Amino acid sequence: MDDKTIGKILLPVPAEKARAREKKVRAQFWSKMRAFASHIPFSEDLAAAYFCATDKRTPLKVRGTLLAALAYFIVPADMIPDFFAAVGFSDDLAVFTAAMTLVQAHVTDEHRDQAEKALQANTDDEAA
């Protein structure tokens, strides 16, 4: 995936599309994480980004960037389908890395703590 494609994915969108993106991410993020967290080495960062993107204290532009990357993650038909174990998340990682590079200062320790607890809870639920 080239930089131009990644840039298009992370471009700001009209408010209506941003709200739709947030709704989709809120509805589908955790089910995708539960299914794939053990296969994604950056799952804790994804979860922290989720908490940052859904935090009303996070600046709107930052939320928009993260929601774009998270929406790309949950879309089942992206550039490289996620069911290809070794490379399926490489395009997701490229988009996510670009987004995090832009907004990483806004992902706080609080967001990371929430991510760690949420992932641990999901792991505990699966083990039960």
Q: How does pLDDT run across 36-45, given as a tens digit for each residue?
A: 888 888 899 9
In which domain, by residue range, is 91 found?
30-127
The predicted structure's pLDDT at residue 45 = 95
Domain count of the fold of the chain: 1
Lowest pLDDT segment from 10-14, 20-24, 76-80: 76-80
Closest Cα to residue 54, out of 118, 5, 97? Answer: 118
Tell me, yes or no, whether 88 lies in a domain: yes
Q: How does pLDDT run across 47-84, given as a tens digit for each residue?
A: 999 999 999 999 999 999 999 999 988 886 544 554 44
Query: Does residue 56 come out as left (phi exceeding 0), alpha (psi in the -120 to 50 range) or beta?
Result: alpha
Q: How does pLDDT run across 108-127, given as a tens digit for each residue?
A: 999 999 999 999 887 665 54
The predicted structure's pLDDT at residue 82 = 47
d(CA 75, CA 6): 15
d(CA 60, CA 18): 10
Tell me, yes or no, whether 25 lies in a domain: no
